[in-house]
Homo-oligomer: A and B are copies of this chain.
Amino acid sequence: MKFKLPKTSAVLVKGKSFKLADVDPSSEKPFAHHPHNREDATPRLLKLRQRLFELQEVLYAEHKRSLLLVFQAMDTGGKDGAIGNLLTGVNPAGVSVASFKAPSPEELSHDFLWRIHAQTPKRGHIGVFNRSHYEDVLVTRVHEIIDDQTAEQRFEDINNFESLLTRNGTRILKFFLHISKEEQAARLQARLDDPAKNWKFDPNDLKERARWDDYQAVYEDALRHCSPAHAPWFVIPANQKWARDLAIAEIVVATLEDMNPQSPKATFDVKAQVIEQ
Binding site for B on A (CB under 8 A): 53, 61, 80, 83-84, 87-93, 95-97, 99, 128, 130, 181-182, 185, 188-189, 192, 195-196, 198-199, 201, 203, 206, 209-210, 263-266, 268, 270, 273-277
Contacts and interface: CB of A to CB of B under 8 A. Distances in A.
Given A198-B265, A263-B196, A206 B93 contact: no
Contacts of A96: 92, 96
A121 to B, nearest CB: 12
Given A263-B196, A266-B201, A268-B203, A277 B185 contact: yes
A85 B31 CA distance: 33
Contact of A203 (B84, B185, B273): B273
Nearest to A203: B268
A270 B268 CA distance: 65
Given A265-B198, A266-B198, A276 B210 contact: yes
Given A198-B265, A209-B276, A265-B199, A90 B92 contact: yes
Sorted nearest first, the 8 A-B pairs with minimum C-beta distance are A198-B266, A92-B95, A199-B264, A92-B92, A93-B97, A84-B91, A87-B92, A88-B91
Contact of A273 (B93, B182, B192, B277): B192
A140 B84 CA distance: 40
Contacts of A199: 61, 263-266
Contact of A92 (B97, B181, B201, B203): B97
Nearest to A272: B203
26 contacts: A53-B88, A61-B199, A80-B93, A83-B91, A83-B93, A84-B91, A87-B92, A87-B93, A89-B89, A92-B95, A92-B96, A92-B128, A93-B128, A96-B96, A181-B277, A182-B277, A185-B277, A195-B266, A198-B265, A198-B266, A199-B264, A201-B268, A203-B268, A203-B273, A206-B273, A206-B275
A189 B95 CA distance: 30
Contacts of A53: 88
A93 B99 contact: yes
A203 B271 CA distance: 11
A224 to B, nearest CB: 28
Contacts of A92: 87-88, 90, 92, 95-97, 128
